[in-house]
Amino acid sequence: MSIEKGTLEIKALSKSFIVDGNPLQILNNINIVFPAGAFISIVGSSGCGKTTLLRIMLGLETQYEGDALIDGEKIVGPGLNRGIVFQDHRLLPWLTVGENVAFGLEKLKRKEKKLIVDEHLKLVGLSGFVSAYPSQLSGGMAQRVAIARALASKPEILLMDEPLGALDALTRMYMQKELERIWLFEKISMIMVTHDVEEAIYLSDKVVIMSSRPGIIKKIIDVPLPRPRDRASSAFMQIKAEILKEFHLETEYPFAYAI
Ligand SMILES: Nc1ncnc2c1ncn2[C@@H]1O[C@H](COP(=O)(O)OP(=O)(O)OP(=O)(O)O)[C@@H](O)[C@H]1O
Ligand SMILES: [Mg+2]
C-alpha cells in the first residue's frame, strides 16, 4: 500500500548526546506515526527532548538509532517537503517582509516568486505589509510572516517549535485561531511542540505527552472534539484534566527552599 504524502513516521528511535565525554540518552525508543493532514501537538517538560525530536524530523540531526521516515523514505537531511517555524521569528532584519517570504524561493522566476509571496501574505492576513521591514511588525505579525515563509515552499509537513510561545496571552489565542484556519486551508500535516496544554487541545487531533530522562512517549491523547473548539466546554476541560494528570504524576521538586 502506498503511503499518503505528508506522513512522518518515527520507529524505535533512540538518541544520545555526548556530555562531558559520556553518552547521555535523550530519547528512548520513540515510536509514532504522524498521519498525513493531521495536526499533532507534542507536550512535555523542559529538556525531555521535544526540540531534538523535531530536529531529527527536519533532518538536522542524523546520528541516532532507529528510523525517521517521511512518506516511507529515510530522512537524510533538510528538504523542501518540511517547513519549520521557531519560537522566535528568525526573519532577516535587512530584508522586507516580501523578501523574507521569498527567501527560500531563489530558483523561481521573479513573477512566480511574487505570486507565491502575495498568495502567502494574503493567507496570513498581511497583504499590505510586503514592503515593511521586520522591525516595523508586532510579535504576532512577525510570527505570521515566519509561517508564510515556511509555507511558501509548499511543504507537505509544517514543523513548529513553540511557534506562539513569545506572544502575549490574547495575541496567542488569536494566533491559535489563525493557525487553525491556515491548517484547514492548506490541508497539510502540522506537528507543533508547545508548553501550553490548552493550545494543544484547541488545535490538535492528537496530543503526544512526553516525559523526560530519557525522553519517552508517555501517552497519546485523542481530541475528538468538533472545530472550532470551545475552551470552556466540559469535554474540553475533561481532556485538559486528563493531560494535566499526566504531568502531576511526573512532577518532581528538585529545589529545596533555604529559609
Ligand atoms: N547538541 C547537544 N549536545 C548535548 N546535549 C544536548 C544537545 N542538544 C540538546 N541537548 C540536551 O538534550 C536534552 C533535550 O533537549 P531539547 O532541546 O530537545 O529539550 P526540549 O524538550 O526541547 O526542552 P525545552 O522545552 O526547554 O525547549 C537537554 O538535556 C539538552 O541539554
Ligand atoms: Mg525545545
- pLDDT digits 0-9 by tens, 87-144: 998 999 999 999 999 998 988 899 999 999 999 999 999 999 999 999 999 999 999 9
Number of the ligand 1 atom closest to the C-alpha atom of 18: 4
If you write DSSP's letter for every residue of 76-97 in order, what string do you get?
-S--TTEEEE-SS----TTS-H
- Identify residue 74 by its one-letter amino acid code: K
Q: How far is CA 143 from CA 2, 138, 166, 203, 234, in A?
A: 35, 9, 9, 17, 31
Query: Which ligand gives the minimal distance to the CA of 17?
Result: 1
The closest residue, in CA terms, to atom 3 on ligand 1 is 17
Mean pLDDT for the stretch of residues 67-74:
96
Strand duo 8-19 + 22-34: pairing: antiparallel
The stretches of the chain forming alpha helices (DSSP H) are 50-58, 97-101, 110-123, 139-152, 169-186, 197-203, 234-249
Give, rounded to a whole angstrom, the gap between the first and last alpha carbons of the chain. 64
3-class secondary-structure state, position 136? helix
Q: Summarize pLDDT for 194-251 with one digit per residue, the tens.
A: 999 999 999 999 999 999 888 999 999 999 999 999 999 999 999 999 999 998 743 4
CA of 193 to the centre of ligand 2 (A): 8
Per-residue pLDDT at 256 exceeds 60 = no
3-class secondary-structure state, position 105? helix
CA of 163 to the centre of ligand 2 (A): 11
- Give the pLDDT of residue 106: 85
Query: Which ligand gives the minimal distance to the CA of 215?
Result: 1
Mean pLDDT, all residues of the chain: 92
Higher pLDDT pick, 174 / 159: 159
- Give the pLDDT of residue 213: 86
pTM (whole model) above 0.85: yes
- Give the pLDDT of residue 257: 52
The full set of domain ranges for the chain reads: 1-36+46-74+193-259
Query: Which ligand gives the minimal distance to the CA of 161?
Result: 2
How far, rounded to the nearest angstrom, does the alpha carbon of residue 181 sit from its chain's CA centroid? Answer: 16
Please compute, for residue 197, the number of CA atoms within 13 A of its CA located in the half-sphere on the CB side: 17
- For residue 23, list its beta bridge partners: 18
Note residues around ion ligand 2 (Cβ under 5 angstroms): 51
The closest residue, in CA terms, to atom 31 on ligand 1 is 47
Q: Which residues line ligand 1 (CB under 6 A)?
A: 17, 19, 26, 44, 46-52
CA of 216 to the centre of ligand 1 (A): 14
Out of 3.40.50.300, 3.40.50.460, 2.70.150.10, 3.10.20.30, select the CATH number for domain 1-36+46-74+193-259: 3.40.50.300
Number of the ligand 1 atom closest to the C-alpha atom of 55: 18
- For residue 220, list its beta bridge partners: 208
Mean pLDDT for the stretch of residues 38-50:
95
